[in-house]
Structure 1
Amino acid sequence: MSVVKEFLLLKRDLGGLIILFIMPLVLVITVTLIQDSTFKTISDTKIPILLVDNDKGSVSKTVFDNLEKSNLFSVVTQIDNKAITEEVAKEAVYKGKFQLAIVIPKNLSVDLQAKIDQNVAKIVSSMGLTDSTATAAPSEIIKEKEVKLYFDPAVQMSFKNAVMNAIDKMISQIETKSIYTTFQNQLGEGTASFEQKSFITFKEIIPRINNKEIRPNSVQHNVPAWTLFAIFFIVIPLSINIVKEKSQGTFVRLLTNPVSNLIVIIGKTITYSAICMIQFYMMVAVAIFLFPHIGLPPLNIEGHLFLMSVVALFSGFAAIGFGILLGTVASTQEQSAPFGATSVLILAAVGGVWVPVFAMPKIMQIIAKSSPMNWGLEAFYDVLLRNVSLLEIIPKISLLFLFFIITTSIALFYDKKKRTV
């Protein structure tokens, strides 16, 4: 009957039901679409950037050609049919009209070739391959050149690093090609042939299951993360219902029944565990059946559904324990609702739902290990991405269940202590 009572309370609270079921679905669809479209923007849609060419030489032409050939950028060299100056480019970027401006300095091609000629001449001379009777001309001092990059202040650091690495690699390839060409000219009128292809390359080794490559995508990361967020969001309606029972006198009437408070807690646990599992299966169903129709990859749960259900169940236990504790301690709905929402957001932020734990400062990485959301998220990742067995996720789901036991025990002790006083 305690379970029936909880279901009746939820049935009469339409707004609470919307929060519990509809909002998580909207959240996971929206966030996954945004992140997936972000990846597509980086790879498929070209970003317009400004190029200020003060060099007018071979290097600037190579930079322009390479940027045009890339899948990342479309190069803009004129604004209103006028050549762009450094000041115009700087102002346009700092006002947010463009994300990036590249300024190539004057005489870059000429000075680069002159510097390479000097260095090659020194090497060839030290090897005794030049005329010993010729008097060496004094070397002209050639100053280093700077390719300036102006970024929109709102651009993320990861974008800046990616662009700077790409341009640095491009310039290095240009220098290397020039060095090889100069050596070739010095050593025999073009008879020597140098292979300019990179000798060292990188290859990603992708894990395989049943001879199939397992490539993680935005769906595999977002569905577990936002499912956990939705599960923990039951803290709000659960704590509010407990506060309502206290303020309306329902809880006092329950205590007059010949049952302990533990029975009431078990009733709430069973009811909200069922709610959590319904949330979980709704999220999974949306990820499998709806995502392919809106341009997202479907969630592959082949062989994982049982273990994912286990993780969802124990994550629900942890959320229920936290909600019971909050509802027991809070005196009014004005206390429980804002605190519940804020605490869930903090647990999500600390637990790695929004920002990966490895990207956090060291102190935050340590704090993240204390978040029940982090335990649940890592357990989901272990099952879905790392293909582990039940035995390997027992430590994490044990922590979730221990969190439930501790919070529920504190709530029972606090309630008993308060009533005896």
Structure 2
Amino acid sequence: MLLYKLWRSFIKEILLLKRDIGGIVIIFVMPLLLIVTITLIQDSTFKNLEGSKIPIIFIDNDKSEVSKNIKGELENSKTFQLLTNFNEKSAQDAVFSGDYQMAIVIPENLTKDLNSNIDSKVQTIVSSFGLENDSIKTKIEAPKAKEIHLYFDPATNAGFKNSVMNSVNKMVFEIENKKIYKAFQDQLGTTENLDENKNLISFKEITPKKGEMDVMPNSVQHNVPAWTLFAIFFIVVPLSINLVKEKSQGTSVRARISPTPYFVHILGKTFTYLIICIIQFLLMVAVGIYLFPYMDLPAFDVSGKMFQLVTVTLFAGLAAIGFGVLLGTIADTQEQSAPFGATSVVVLAAIGGIWVPVFLMPEFMQTVAKFSPMNWGLNAYYDIILRNSGIGGIAKELIFLFLFYLATVAISIFYERKQNAV
């Protein structure tokens, strides 16, 4: 008998959805447009950064060894296009007005003064050990330090500034090291090949492998789970609206006086919208697998992970349904439930890492993100897709999502009974 009542509740929810074509469009079409648009934008951005060069102004007042080395390194980086038909004043005006992102100005006599400075310091060190060459007795006076001027557009990102300054500093540091090494060779009369003076420590990135291929994260692996979660939680809007409609049309009154417990109606909604969540997930995955390759995007790889991904979808769907039931139970009008539901989903997405990665947020917001059900679902998806975790590895996130569902439904039932207590 209870199963029959549950079935009738399920049919009622299907009929309600059939009457709301706009809600169906929002549930299924909107997330698909979002995932395609956002993924294309992000992937195009990455390709543009890889395939094009940033024009910067390069002014060489030294025209000697050091400036030529710096210019060569910048040209070989395949990141910058050097513009040289400027003087320092015109370069400053062009950059500060936003025409170019940056300018690098190499001072006059940089190579000459650097050589003199190094020779002076090396001679002082060698002299202190009594090892100076007899032919070199004259004290060389060290010149003042030189400054390489860097001009940045005021709107330039701070990360880009730091990256450029670190790169220039590294280039100058390597040039100085080689010159110091060469100066010591000259002073001590050694003939060791300078090219053999290589770094003793280097860096090598170790990435996960699938067979012989490196597993590298891409825009599709981030966007498919992220926007799937956004779509799942967006069912809060039609679900809460339907609950408010039931109250305004008297359906909830008939449900209360019927012998069917209120939790059966909640279970009917849960099963109905869980099916919708699974369909949303399958549509998103289908777009990632079959459509993205035709749009010159990486295909979404779900091989050996489909069961785990569906499991996360079910638990994330439960959390979204619980939130929708709570909102629809508390709200009195559609004007309350619809805008608040949409806004709250966007807020949960923002603090949950859908829009901006959590690690880029301030420390306080990183703490807040830990309490977002979207963040739990996103971490579970990422653990499966990027870290190859099984069900055991995502158990904590699944438990949190299920407890969120139980808590929101329990509050909804308690609130409904309190409001209708005679």
- The TM-score with structure 2 as length reference comes to 0.92
Shift of 1:135: 5.2
Q: Please say if residues 321 and 408 of structure 1, whose CA atoms lie closer than 8 Å, have aligned partners that are also in contact.
A: yes
Match of residue 228 from structure 2: 227
Residue in 2 aligned with 1:127? Answer: 129
Determine the structure 2 residue equivalent to 1:192.
192
Q: Which residue of structure 2 aligns with residue 301 of structure 1?
A: 302
Q: 1:135 to 1:73 in 2, by over 3 A?
A: closer
The match for 1:44 among 44, 47, 51 is 51
Match of 1:274 in 2: 275
Alignment of 1:24-35 (within 5 A): 24-35=31-42
Distance 2:296 2:163 in 1: 26
Code of the residue aligned with 1:289 in structure 2: it is: Y
Residue 380 to residue 70, structure 1, CA distance change in 2 (3 Å): same
Counterparts of 1:127-146 in structure 2 under 5 Å?
Answer: 127-131=129-133, 136-137=138-139, 139-140=141-142, 142-146=143-147
* 1:242-281 alignment runs, 5 A limit: 242-281=243-282
Q: Give the aligned residue type for 1:99.
A: Q
Q: Tell me by how many angstroms 1:210 deviates.
A: 4.1
Give the unaligned 5+ runs of structure 1.
Answer: 79-83
Corresponding residue SS for 2:150: strand
Distance apart, 1:59 and its partner CA: 1.8
Structure 1: how far apart are the matches of 2:94 and 2:346?
Answer: 37
Which whole-Å CA distance do the structure 2 matches of 1:302 and 1:69 have between them?
Answer: 40
1:411 partner amino acid: S
Q: Which residue of 2 aligns with 1:312?
A: 313
- 1:65 counterpart residue number: 72
Query: What residue number does 2:324 align with?
Result: 323
Cα offsets for 1:343-377 (capped at 9, x unmatched): 11221121122222222222222221111111111
> What letter matches 2:72 in structure 1?
D
Q: Deviations over 1:264-306 (max 9, x none)?
A: 1111111111111111111111111111111111111111011
* Deviation, structure 1 residue 310: 0.2
Aligned ranges 1:7-406 → 2 under 5 Å: 7-78=14-85, 84-131=86-133, 136-137=138-139, 139-140=141-142, 142-188=143-189, 191-194=191-194, 195-406=196-407
Asked if residue 6 in structure 1 is aligned to residue 25 in structure 2, the reply is no
Shift of residue 136, structure 1, vs aligned partner: 4.4
- 2: CA distance between counterparts of 1:48 and 1:165? 18
Q: Quick one: distance in 2 between partners of 1:318 and 1:207?
A: 32
Question: Relative to 1, partners in 2 of residues 1:380 and 1:258: Cα closer, same or farther, differing over 3 Å?
Answer: same
1:256 Cα deviation after fit? 3.5
Counterparts in 2 of 1:134 and 1:378: CA distance versus 1, 3 Å: closer
Deviating more after overlay: 34-43 vs 259-268 = 34-43
8 Å contact from structure 2 (residues 351, 365) kept in 1: yes
CA distance, structure 1, for counterparts of residue 135 and residue 226 of structure 2:
75
Q: 1:45, 1:72 within 8 Å by CA — same for their partners in 2?
A: yes
Equivalent position amino acid for 1:246 in 2? K
Contact 2:120–2:140 (Cα < 8 Å) also in 1: no
Q: How far did residue 48 of structure 1 move?
A: 1.1
Corresponding residue of 1:81: none
Asked if structure 2 preserves the Cα contact closer than 8 Å seen for 1:184 and 1:193, the reply is no
Report SS of the residue matched to 1:129. Answer: coil
Distance 1:150 1:336 in 2: 51
Q: Which amino acid aligns with 2:91?
A: A
Which letter does structure 2 place at the counterpart of 1:60? S
**Range with bigger deviation, 249-258 or 232-241:** 249-258
CA shift at 1:132, angstroms? 6.2
C-alpha contact 1:223 1:284 (8 A) present in aligned 2: yes
Aligned length: 414
> Is the 1:102–1:148 Cα contact (8 Å) retained in structure 2?
yes
Q: Please, which runs of 5 or more residues in structure 2 have no aligned partner?
A: 1-7
345-354 or 99-108, which deviates more = 99-108
Using structure 1 for the length normalisation, give the TM-score.
0.92
Assess if the C-alpha contact under 8 Å between 1:352 and 1:374 holds in 2: yes
Give the fraction of aligned pairs with identical amino acids, expressed as a percent.
56
Partner Cα separation in structure 2 for residue 164 and residue 34 of structure 1: 28
